[in-house]
Structure formats: C-alpha cells, structure tokens
Structure 1
Amino acid sequence: MKHLDVIDLFLKILSMKSVTPDDGGILDFVESYLDDFDSYWFNEGGVKNLFLTKKFGDGKHLAFVGHVDVVPAGDNWQTNPFVPMIEDGYIYARGTQDMKSGVASMVCALRDIENFNGRLSLMLTSDEEGDGTFGIQYMLPELQKLHLLPDECIIAEPTCENVFGDAIKIGRRGSINGVLVLKGKQGHAAYPEKTINPINLIAPILTQLAGINLDDGDSDFNPTTMVVTDIRSGMEIHNVTPASLKIMFNLRNSTKTLKEDVKIFIEDKFSSLDYELKLEQSSFPFVTNRESALVKKITKVISSVTNQEPKLSTAGGTSDGRHIAPYGVDVVEFGVINNRIHAVDERTTIKEVESLYKIFVEVLKTY
C-alpha cells in the first residue's frame, strides 16, 4: 500500500465515519497499511478490536493503544463533521482531537520504524466512547492467554492543556457513583408537624457533603471531592410535602479513598436517618511511577521536540488505561491539546499532529 504522510493518513481516517461502535472500515485499513505486522482480531458484541504486533528483538514489549470510534457529531457545525476542512492551520472534523490524531501518529510511527530492541504492537478498538465492555478490556485477557500482553504502553489520548507538550497523563482517578434515597413521611404542607420532610432533613447535612474532600490527595492525585450532581424530591405541588428525596453524587477518587471509605462517610452523616444507599465503582484509580523508564523517556523526548517541560498529571476523566494498568503494565498517555473534544467544530492543528508523530518516532528510535 502507498505510504502516506501523517497528515494525509489523518485526513483519510477522519473521512471514515466511525461513531461508536462502528469502526468505519478504519481497522481493516490499518491492518492493510501495517501489513508486515501479525494481526489478531478480537470481535464481540458488535465491537471490533485489532491487535497488530511485530517482534524486532528480545527486549521489552511496547504497545501503542487507542480507539477509532468517535461520539456523534451533534448539530450546528460550520461544515460536514465527517469531511475534514483545513483552515488557517487547523483541521476541523469529528475525532480530530479525540483521538484520530493519535491514531494517525501511532500508525505512521510504527510504519516508519525499521529497528527496535523488542516487540512493538498496536491495540485499537471501536468501543471506547461507549460502555467499552467489549473493547480494550475484552482484548486484554485474550492477549494474556497468547502471552502477548505488553510491558509498557502509550495511549495517544489528547492530554495537553494549553500548549502542545505541556502535560502527560501518568494515571487516572477512579470514579465512584452514588445514589442516596432519604425517606420521610408525606403529608399536607399546612401540618408540617404531622410529616417528616426529607428536604428539612437533608438541609443541614448538605453542606457537609457537597464539595467536601474525603482525602488530601498526594503528589500524584488531587483530593477526592464529593460532587453532588442531582437532587430531586416532591411532586411539584405546593401543598404536599415529599415522601422521599434522592441525591446523586460522583467522586473522582484517588488511591487514598476507596468505595468502602465513601460508605463509612455517608453512614456517619446519616446514621440517625432512614435511607438507602447504592454505590458503584465504575473505574479504579491507577498511577505509573513517575521514575519509571517509560515516563522518563517520553518526558525527555517531548521536552526535546516542543521545548516544553510537561507536567505529570492524573487529572480529567477515565481512559482505557484503567483496564491495562491492573495487568502490571506501565501506562502513559500523551496526545494533542484537549480543548474541543466532543464539542461542535472539534479541531486540532497540523503542527500538533506532525509533532506528535515526530515524538512517537523519536521514542521508538531511542527506546
């Protein structure tokens, strides 16, 4: 297949509509493009997963990881979100930041590397933006059976904040969702003494919940903060007090706060009241040692290419790294600036994509 430079390849895959879990034909294209790599398919539940691998030597196994699926475009774009537009050095299209820029850079870097002291692989899924049940987390145990789990991986998610090169993710916070139902006794608003109004019950407690830190954080993580996301009660009637109140909350937790800690925290605040609590841990926190060889290597290369000193961050949402790290794999994430992901008129710059490709090539050459 004809070799494309990174921008031409980027434009090609941007033109391939791949709303979760549809891969838009991208995975077949990538398999053909990297035809000197061995390929493994792990497809399930309408999701396609591709693993490409090539052994160059007997050293470590490094994998690039990413997703080709994107969220729906939505309305009010200036142009067709699946027909990339170039204007003033920017490329506009759905997936430019999240994360087809990363996919294009990874694929081109793997195509252009001739020597490597170890094994190189590429893991791609068509379901990261969805629930991901049959995405990367489905691939990992299958790779383990084949003894093909990597030692280290780079995920090309968009990580930079203000300037390209200013941030690397070395981990992610976990996510704990909670639903608490506070029970009361419904009645006529004119006779409050005959009711138990759950709104009255929650009022003095709410300030002890909303925005409260459950830990102090550490050098890798910000404090775990309780974020109240919804409160609802009553029937939207003036003269009836409610029978119950429901409050929903989320905590992006560090390694210092567990789900059990949240349960104990709630029990302490509501011990004298009648309530039901449901807690769900949708993802667990992870962090890669900032002194690891992988972190040091990519930091050095980024600094050399961009003249930026990237901070090592665990902020933001979750990523597929949360599935990979528990297998004992060192995980870092680095990609273009993240300021328009999932938004109307998503865009990135040509310079960022070219620089990202250059960084990945340099990492491989000096690994």
Structure 2
Amino acid sequence: MNAKELLIELLKFKSITPNDDGALNFIALELEDFEAFFIEKEGVKNLLLTKKFNDEGEHLAFGGHIDVVPAGEGWENEPFNPVEKDGFIYARGSQDMKSGVAAFVSAVKNANFKGSRLSLLLTSDEEGEAKYGTLELLKFMEEKNMLPGYAIVAEPTCVKSFGDSIKIGRRGSINGKLLIRGKQGHAAYPEKAINPIHDFAPVLKFLAGFDLDPGSAEFAPSKIVLTDIRAGLGVSNVTPNDLRLMLNVRNSNDTSVEDVRNYIEKLCHGLNYELFLTQSSKPFLTDANSKIVQKLNQSVQKISGVVPELNTKGGTSDARFFAEFGVNVAEFGVRNDTIHAVNERVSVEDFEKLCLVFKDLVENF
C-alpha cells in the first residue's frame, strides 16, 4: 500500500496509551524484510525494526509512538474512523504522531540507503508515563551493541507552515512540591496561630515566574511556574494548618535540580517547610552543525522551500532518551496546530511532503 493508505490504516487502530491495539504487528508486516524485535515490559508493547544494508557507513534510526491520547467528546466524525475532507485527514493521532510514523515507514520501505543500518523504534507508551517505551528499546539496542549514531524523531514540530521548525533539543522538566507548616487557629485570634499564608506571602513574589537563568540562544530562561496553591478549610474564620504549593520548571542545561533546590531553600529560610523536587526529564541539545541536523535541514529546504528555525521550544519528547544514550537526535514532522484537540487533522499535502523529506534524507545520508 502507498503512504497515505498506510496512514489511514494506522489511524483506525484505537491505540490509546498503552494499548497498541495491533498497530505494531501491522507495521512489522509492512516491513517484512526488516528484523523485528517485540519488547514488552509492564504491559507496554514496543517494536524494534532493523535492517543491515552495508558493512560500513552510518546507522540511522527513526523513532516514534503509535499511542494516542483519548479522543474526548464533540468530534464531527468518529475519531478512529479517518475521514478525508478538503485536503485534510481527520482522526485522533493524525498529527500526533501517526503521520510521522507512516512517513518514515514509507521512506525506509525499499530504501536506497548507502549507510550500514536502518532502524525504527516504535512504542505504545509516549503519551503516558514513558517509563517502559523508547527507553527500553534503547537499552535493548545497547545490550546488542547496535545503538544508532543518528536518529530522527518524527514528532509534529512545524507551527505555521510545513518546514518551518526543526527541534534540535528540548528543555528538561523539574516538578516540585512545597509544604509550609503552620498552626491552625481562630481568625479572631491570629496571635495564637501560625498562619502559613502570611508567612509565605513575602516569598511568593520571588518565586512566581522567576527566571533561574537568563536563557541562551538555544534555550528560553528556566522559569519557575506555579501550578497549584492551596490552604485552609474553605471557611473564613479558621486559619490554615499548612499551605501546599506545586511548581514546574522547564530547565535548560544551565539550571539543575540542585540549583532549583538551593534557590527555594534560601527563600524559605526561617520557615517551617518541606521541599520535594524530581526531574522527570533532562534537557538536551544536539549540535546544529552535526550531520543529522545538517542533512535534515537540507532535505527540508529541498522539499518545502522553507528555511526551518532550529529550536528547542515546547515540552518533552522521547528524543531525550536518544540523547541520554549518546545518539545525535533531531525532531521533525508535520504541523502541530490540532494535536490532542477535538477534530485533530493533518494536511494531506504536509504529510506527502514529510514522506518526501524522509525519503530524501534516507537516500542522501
């Protein structure tokens, strides 16, 4: 089947995280000349497809996920029954990211590849906790001494027009919980209580929206974003026993978990508090002059006629796992204007161009 037919078939699988609904088997059958390794852990199914072409040359990989978020209510059409209308294909996962998967599967099928090996890493656990997906595939490849040197993750990166954005890195994500302890009491007798809201109020302005670093050419500043504050019993005559706050920092390489901890601990000096911080993903940056970025950039410009911005904007993705294993990785895909939304759709023209970009990259890498 051709690339668009492949995409339409993929969109029919109700592959809500972590259920692949048979999509991985379907892809494996499409690439029967690739060696297939099905790796399952904690209910998460993953697939590695790999093929040796030559004894020497580069090992290029593509990464992607076939899982999608739930569809929700209010769709004009059934979200897992793709409909093509007015130049778009409507279905859950059409942009994020079954179009990317279909494009690279199509690109490697009968590929004229001059390097040593092509590999595809596919998971059903990216939209969820992402603990047992791409990371497990890379561990397996490391054990087999077959890690790729370069990788493309086909996430939807473009914003206003196809070709306008290549991601060469991602910020990390640090999550925090802060507990300020007080002593509950009557609002009419504040001197008998310890009000954690009053104690914390002077600190708040130095925490909310504070930039922990100035940013750089590649990364925006690492900003403290408060996501939840709560205290009290929901009545006006009782002061609270404690105040609880949640925060998130999308951090660059210039700010670590310890930097966040040190800053907050200095602010809270003298308060009765507990602070809990976890790094859910680490930042990474691929050299803009690396082969993968340069070759991808050339293919994008050749097919789209657009000069892409090389950036690190947005949230986290599985590209971070490739970087952790020393793989030079970049991300490129279709536009992302309807990802996770009701009536998610992908432009047929964008998808066809993406297929050509990946085909050109494979043939000229």
Decide: shared fold, TM above 0.5: yes
Look up the SS of the partner of 1:168 in the other structure.
strand
- For 1:161, the equivalent position in structure 2 comes to 159
- For 2:261, the equivalent position in structure 1 comes to 263
Between the aligned partners of 2:11 and 2:95, the Cα distance in structure 1 is 11
Gaps of 5+ in 1: none
Q: Give 1:237's aligned amino acid.
A: V
- For 2:3, the equivalent position in structure 1 comes to 6
- For 2:36, the equivalent position in structure 1 comes to 39
Q: Give 2:164's aligned amino acid.
A: D
1:96 Cα deviation after fit: 0.5
- For 1:215, the equivalent position in structure 2 comes to 213
Between the aligned partners of 1:156 and 1:94, the Cα distance in structure 2 is 16
Q: Give 1:45's aligned amino acid.
A: E
Between the aligned partners of 1:169 and 1:115, the Cα distance in structure 2 is 24
1:343 Cα deviation after fit: 1.0
Between the aligned partners of 1:117 and 1:265, the Cα distance in structure 2 is 48
Q: Give 1:248's aligned amino acid.
A: M
Look up the SS of the partner of 2:63 in the other structure.
strand
Whether the aligned pair in 1 keeps the contact of 2:170 and 2:283 (CA below 8 Å) is yes
Between the aligned partners of 1:158 and 1:226, the Cα distance in structure 2 is 26
1:357 Cα deviation after fit: 0.3
Between the aligned partners of 1:343 and 1:115, the Cα distance in structure 2 is 37
1:115 Cα deviation after fit: 3.4
Matches within 5 A, 1:334-353: 334-353=332-351
Between the aligned partners of 2:110 and 2:232, the Cα distance in structure 1 is 63
Which one of the candidate residues 21, 24, 29 is aligned to 2:21?
Answer: 24
Q: Give 2:2's aligned amino acid.
A: D
Look up the SS of the partner of 1:48 in the other structure.
strand
Q: Give 2:207's aligned amino acid.
A: L
Determine whether 1:244 maps to 2:242: yes
CA deviation string 1:161-180 (max 9, x = no partner): 11111001111110000000
Which one of the candidate residues 54, 57, 68 is aligned to 2:51?
Answer: 54
1:112 Cα deviation after fit: 3.4
TM-score (normalizing by structure 2): 0.98
Q: Give 2:13's aligned amino acid.
A: M
1:117 Cα deviation after fit: 2.1
Q: Give 1:6's aligned amino acid.
A: A
Between the aligned partners of 2:90 and 2:110, the Cα distance in structure 1 is 26
- For 1:124, the equivalent position in structure 2 comes to 122
Larger displacement relative to structure 2 (12-21 or 225-234): 12-21
CA deviation string 1:184-226 (max 9, x = no partner): 1111000112211111112121111111100011121111000
Matches within 5 A, 1:152-231: 152-231=150-229
Extract structure 1 runs of 4+ deviating beyond 6 A.
none
- For 1:143, the equivalent position in structure 2 comes to 141
1:238 Cα deviation after fit: 1.0
Q: Give me the CA root mean square deviation.
A: 0.9
Look up the SS of the partner of 1:221 in the other structure.
coil
Gaps of 5+ in 2: none
Between the aligned partners of 1:104 and 1:61, the Cα distance in structure 2 is 20
Q: Give 1:31's aligned amino acid.
A: A
- For 2:323, the equivalent position in structure 1 comes to 325
Between the aligned partners of 2:113 and 2:200, the Cα distance in structure 1 is 64
TM-score (normalizing by structure 1): 0.98
CA deviation string 1:39-92 (max 9, x = no partner): 111111111111111111210100010011111111111110000011110111
